[in-house]
Structure 1
Amino acid sequence: MHRKISASILALLLSACEGHEATQPESEAKTEAFDFGGVFDDTYAGEIDRTVEPRRPDGPPNVVLIIADDLGWPYLGFLGDENVVTPNMDIIGNGGTVFEVGHATSNFCRPTLQTLITGLYPVQYDQRANEIVENALATDGVPDSLDSQREQSMYRQKLHTSAIEQFKTLPRILQDQGYVSHQSGKWWEQSYAHGGFTHGMTESWDVQDAVDLGDRWFFTFMGGQGQKIGRETMEPLETFIEEHADQPFFVWYGPALPHTPLNAPNEFYKYFAERDDLSQSAKLYYANIAWFDWGVGKILDTLHDQRVMDNTLIVYINDNGWEQDADVEYTDDNITFANGGPRGKGSFFETGFRTPIIFYWQGKITAMRDTANLASALDIMPTILDYVGVEAPEDLPGYSLRPAIEAGSLPAPREYFIGRMTQHRAGTNFRGEPDDFTDDHMGAARSGYYRRDLRWHFVWLPETGETALYDLENDPGQLADVSEENPELISTFKSDIEDWQEQYERG
Structure 2
Amino acid sequence: MKKLSLIILSLLLISLVRAQNTKPNIVIIYVDDLGYGDLSSYGATEVQTPNVDKLAKGGVMFTDGHCSAATCTPSRYSLLTGRYAFRKDAAVLPGDAPLLISTGRPTLPGMLKQNGYRTAVIGKWHLGLGNGNVDWNGKVAPGPFEIGFDYSYLIPSTGDRVPSVMLENHHVVGLDPEDPIEINYKKKVGTDPTGIENPELLRYPSDQFHGKTIVNGVSRIGYMSGGNAARFKDETVPYQMLHKARTFIDDNQDQPFFLYFAFHDIHVPRLPDARFLGITSMGVRGDAIVQMDYITGELVKHLDKRGLSDNTIIVFSSDNGPVLDDGYSDEAVDLQGKHQPAGPYRGNKYSAYEAGTRVPTIVYWPGTIEAKESDALVTQTDLYASFAELIGHELAATEAPDSEAMWSTFTGQSDKGRDFLLEESVTLSLRHGHYKYIHPTNKKAAWIKEEKNIEAGTSTEPQLFDLSSDVGEQVNIAAKNKKLVKMMQAEIARIKNNEVTR
TM over 0.5: yes
Shift of 1:233: 4.7
Task: Provide the rounded CA distance (Å) in 2 between the counterparts of 1:198 and 1:226.
Answer: 26
What letter is aligned with 2:121? Q
Q: Out of 351, 356, 360, which is 1:356 matched to?
A: 360
Task: Provide the rounded CA distance (Å) in 1 between the counterparts of 2:310 and 2:69.
Answer: 33
Partner of 1:494: 489
Q: Is the 8 A contact 1:229 1:255 kept in 2?
A: no
Shift of 1:302: 1.1
Change (3 A) 1:503 1:352: same
Q: Out of 138, 141, 144, which is 1:192 matched to?
A: 144
SS in 2 for 1:166: coil
Q: Out of 406, 409, 424, which is 1:401 matched to?
A: 406
Task: Provide the rounded CA distance (Å) in 2 between the counterparts of 1:407 and 1:360.
Answer: 10
Q: Is the 8 A contact 2:321 2:348 kept in 1?
A: yes
TM-score (normalised: structure 1): 0.66
Change (3 A) 1:496 1:177: closer
1:296-329 alpha-carbon deviations (Å, 9 max, x no partner):
111111111112112111112211011669xxx8
What letter is aligned with 1:381? Y
SS in 1 for 2:103: helix
**How many residues are aligned here?**
378
Q: Is the 8 A contact 1:162 1:194 kept in 2?
A: no
Partner of 2:420: 416
Task: Provide the rounded CA distance (Å) in 2 between the counterparts of 1:413 and 1:387.
Answer: 17
Q: Out of 50, 55, 75, which is 1:112 matched to?
A: 75
SS in 2 for 1:362: coil
1:182-227 alpha-carbon deviations (Å, 9 max, x no partner):
1111212323313321111134599x84339865696899xx9798
Q: Is the 8 A contact 1:201 1:225 kept in 2?
A: no
What letter is aligned with 1:409? S
SS in 1 for 2:38: coil
Task: Provide the rounded CA distance (Å) in 2 between the counterparts of 1:407 and 1:255.
Answer: 26
Q: In structure 2, list runs of 5 or more residues that go unmatched.
A: 1-19, 130-142, 155-166, 173-180, 190-211, 214-219, 225-230, 326-330, 336-340, 443-458
SS in 2 for 1:65: strand
1:179-328 maps to which residues of 2 (within 5 A)? 179-187=117-125, 188-190=127-129, 191-202=143-154, 203=167, 209-211=182-184, 229-230=237-238, 233-273=241-281, 282-322=282-322
Residue 478 of structure 1 pairs with residue 473 of structure 2: yes
1:47-103 alpha-carbon deviations (Å, 9 max, x no partner):
xxxxxxxxxx96111111111110011221222322222111111111111232111
Give the root-mean-square deviation of aligned CA atoms. 3.6
Change (3 A) 1:417 1:154: closer
TM-score (normalised: structure 2): 0.67
**Structure number having the greater helix percentage:** 1
Q: Is the 8 A contact 1:186 1:254 kept in 2?
A: yes
Change (3 A) 1:269 1:229: closer
Partner of 1:382: 385
Q: Is the 8 A contact 2:278 2:284 kept in 1?
A: no
Partner of 1:455: 434
Task: Provide the rounded CA distance (Å) in 2 between the counterparts of 1:419 and 1:80.
Answer: 23
Shift of 1:345: 0.4
Partner of 1:8: none
Q: In structure 1, list runs of 5 or more residues that go unmatched.
A: 1-56, 130-152, 274-281, 334-338, 423-447
Change (3 A) 1:366 1:476: same
Shift of 1:332: 6.3
Q: Which moved more, 1:395-404 or 1:228-237?
A: 228-237
Task: Provide the rounded CA distance (Å) in 2 between the counterparts of 1:484 and 1:317.
Answer: 35
What letter is aligned with 1:66? I
Task: Provide the rounded CA distance (Å) in 2 between the counterparts of 1:68 and 1:403.
Answer: 24
Question: Identity rate of aligned residues, in percent?
Answer: 25
Shift of 1:363: 0.3
Change (3 A) 1:482 1:220: farther
Task: Provide the rounded CA distance (Å) in 2 between the counterparts of 1:301 and 1:492.
Answer: 48
Q: Out of 348, 363, 367, which is 1:344 matched to?
A: 348
Shift of 1:229: 4.3
Partner of 2:449: none
Task: Provide the rounded CA distance (Å) in 1 between the counterparts of 2:106 and 2:223.
Answer: 24
Task: Provide the rounded CA distance (Å) in 2 between the counterparts of 1:110 and 1:418.
Answer: 16
Shift of 1:353: 0.6
SS in 2 for 1:400: coil
Q: Is the 8 A contact 2:33 2:323 kept in 1?
A: no
Task: Provide the rounded CA distance (Å) in 1 between the counterparts of 2:488 and 2:53.
Answer: 36
Task: Provide the rounded CA distance (Å) in 1 between the counterparts of 2:34 and 2:432.
Answer: 22
Task: Provide the rounded CA distance (Å) in 2 between the counterparts of 1:313 and 1:229.
Answer: 25
What letter is aligned with 1:254? A
1:255-300 alpha-carbon deviations (Å, 9 max, x no partner):
1111112332353343323xxxxxxxx4432221111111111111
SS in 1 for 2:478: coil
Q: Is the 8 A contact 1:97 1:370 kept in 2?
A: yes
Change (3 A) 1:246 1:205: closer
Partner of 1:10: none
Task: Provide the rounded CA distance (Å) in 2 between the counterparts of 1:380 and 1:457.
Answer: 22
